[in-house]
Structure 1
Amino acid sequence: MIHSDTGTLPGGHPYASVGDGPRALVVMPGFGDAMFSGRYPPFSGLAIAPYFARYLDDYRVYVLSRPRELPPGYDEGDAVESHARAFEPIADSHDGVDAIGISMGGLIAQALARREPDPIDRLVIANSACRLDDDARSAVRQFERYAREGDWASIRSKLAAAMFSDGRAMAYPPVLQTIGRFVQPRPAEPADVWRSLEFILEFDGCDRLEAIDQPTLVFSGERDPYFTAELARETAAGLPNGQLELVAGAKHGAFHERKATFDSRVREFLERPYSTVLER
């Protein structure tokens, strides 16, 4: 039977893991991670196994949440310090570690790869870039106002419209604003939501991309309103060993909505020998 586990890693990071591969693939989720309890029920690893099925032959996959009760002024230094602690036992238990950072997780992954590079061999930045697009700042500030009012349904409904390019962009928002108000999980610590949003607004790593030496794939939707195609191109171009995959027509949820494309491209990237990735 495939191995799965849940628990908390150093630095207060809840996680769920699945797989028996010799290497570790650490998935660092987006901003929405702050909007649930932060506790993975037993057997959560088995529940996520189908989603990560294409990686399980070679990897043990860890979905690594951020700690609850983020400190006021949560910033890059705080994120790097706690994530570096969480990565230590993972690195010690596996032959190597690759990482996927999604949206806000992509911002943190960049900072970690730059400031504490040892644990990460290869990096995928999904629907993220070196900073938030200027035109998206007002939308993120609106999310922050919703968070301070405890209006989680409005955040989720607007996120859904920005993530999907198909019928879900129309169908999900009204459901989330009605039934979703009663069935969607609530944040364990409401302040974590607006502190995460403040982190996104403050983060700018565009002038420090050259310090990320790891082979890095930037995967983005061409219509992402938060981390635009222009920013994705700028990010990949600024990386010493950067590659870019832009998905035509996709928005902020390209990693999920176009998952077959995402998995194929990421697997191809991760399967190439390290020296070959560097030469590409």
Structure 2
Amino acid sequence: MKVSANGASIHYAVDGHGPWLTLAHPLGADLTVWDDLVPDLAARFRVLRYDSRGHGGSDVPRGPYTIKQLAADATALLSSLEIPRTHFVGISMGGAVAQQVALDAPERIASLALIDTTAGYDDADAKVFLERAAKAREQGMKALADGTLERWLGERFRKRHPEQAERIRALVAHARPEGFAASCEALAAFDVRTRLAEIDVPTLVLVGENDPSTPPAVARRLADGIADARLEIVPDAAHLSIVEQKQFVTNALATFLQGAASNV
């Protein structure tokens, strides 16, 4: 299904019944990255997944984008679907979007779950994102797929679950180069580290024990910046912990959301 939101056509899917729960995917992926978690979550919640601008079945306008723009897309999607308030779960880029929505439209957010993400990047990391943007535009996404897979999934998981690993590699390889590049530019400029204290909703921060992109030390600073945020380390997981440790993450989310459900 698609709706027009903030000047772009946004592709989305809805599953289940109950309080609204919105899931935002990482850079270079789409809403299918959540497939394994949806059945359990949809047993208790009405789960909204969507493809971020530049990804999946959504429009791919020319970049650069900004995280503020992507957050406005998410808020406009909620308005189009007449969703007044939602629990919001974001991983990696989706976690950046989740933080921005909580800052720009706090009345729409009942709780936050921020997975393998950060509140801002240092200059060296921002430079890497700009280099990836240039590579995507010049060489296409296949040139970035293997490196992304190595950061996202640990070597042991890739060897034990080759079909899952190939699904994720193919997801990145078939991503839209311009959408990926424009979103890299958004992440390079993203920084809300000085505003975290403004977030005033129940917040869970999850991070893979072996996440090389946003390691536990980064997640700890994120959790420390948000009042009463809870940090949980996902054991034996790299950056895409929702795939590598699906059951652990699902259980952690279910426990957290059950406590936060009274906010909707």
- TM-score scaled by length of structure 2: 0.83
Aligned to 1:3: none
Match status 1:18 vs 2:1: no
The 8 Å contact of residues 25 and 61 in structure 1, kept in 2 or not, is answered as yes
1:21-60 matched pairs, under 5 angstroms:
21-33=17-29, 51-60=37-46
The 8 Å contact of residues 133 and 228 in structure 1, kept in 2 or not, is answered as no
1:268 is displaced (CA, Å) by: 0.2
The 8 Å contact of residues 136 and 225 in structure 1, kept in 2 or not, is answered as no
Counterparts of 2:136 and 2:142 in 1: how far apart (Å)?
Answer: 10
Residues 220-267 of structure 1: CA distance to partner in whole angstroms, max 9, x if unpaired? Answer: 112212212111000001001311011233210112101111000110
1:132 is displaced (CA, Å) by: 3.2
**Letter paired with 2:64:** G
**Letter paired with 2:26:** G
Aligned to 1:223: 210
Aligned to 1:162: 151
**Letter paired with 1:248:** P
Counterparts of 2:150 and 2:158 in 1: how far apart (Å)?
Answer: 4
1:153 is displaced (CA, Å) by: 1.4
Q: Which runs of 5+ in 1 are unaligned?
A: 1-5
Change (3 A) 1:71 1:84: farther
Residues 167-215 of structure 1: CA distance to partner in whole angstroms, max 9, x if unpaired? Answer: 355697xx97xx959x95352xx32211100111111111110111111
1:114-129 matched pairs, under 5 angstroms:
114-129=103-118
1:201-220 matched pairs, under 5 angstroms:
201-220=188-207
Residues 123-157 of structure 1: CA distance to partner in whole angstroms, max 9, x if unpaired? Answer: 11111121236664454344223212133112111
Counterparts of 2:36 and 2:119 in 1: how far apart (Å)?
Answer: 30
| SS of residue in 2 equivalent to 1:100 | strand
Q: Which runs of 5+ in 2 are unaligned?
A: 54-58
Counterparts of 2:249 and 2:230 in 1: how far apart (Å)?
Answer: 14
Counterparts of 1:64 and 1:141 in 2: how far apart (Å)?
Answer: 25
Out of 232, 255, 261, the position equivalent to 1:268 is 255
Change (3 A) 1:256 1:50: closer
1:64-213 matched pairs, under 5 angstroms:
64-67=50-53, 68-90=59-81, 92-93=82-83, 96-132=85-121, 136-137=125-126, 139-169=128-158, 185-187=174-176, 190-213=177-200
| SS of residue in 2 equivalent to 1:118 | helix
Counterparts of 1:162 and 1:128 in 2: how far apart (Å)?
Answer: 13
| SS of residue in 1 equivalent to 2:213 | coil
Larger radius of gyration between Structure 1 and Structure 2: 1
The 8 Å contact of residues 60 and 179 in structure 2, kept in 1 or not, is answered as yes
**Letter paired with 2:10:** H
Residues 56-103 of structure 1: CA distance to partner in whole angstroms, max 9, x if unpaired? Answer: 22212111112323453321332232221111244x357x51111111
RMSD: 3.0
The 8 Å contact of residues 41 and 47 in structure 2, kept in 1 or not, is answered as yes
Change (3 A) 1:146 1:244: same
**Letter paired with 1:259:** K
**Letter paired with 1:26:** T
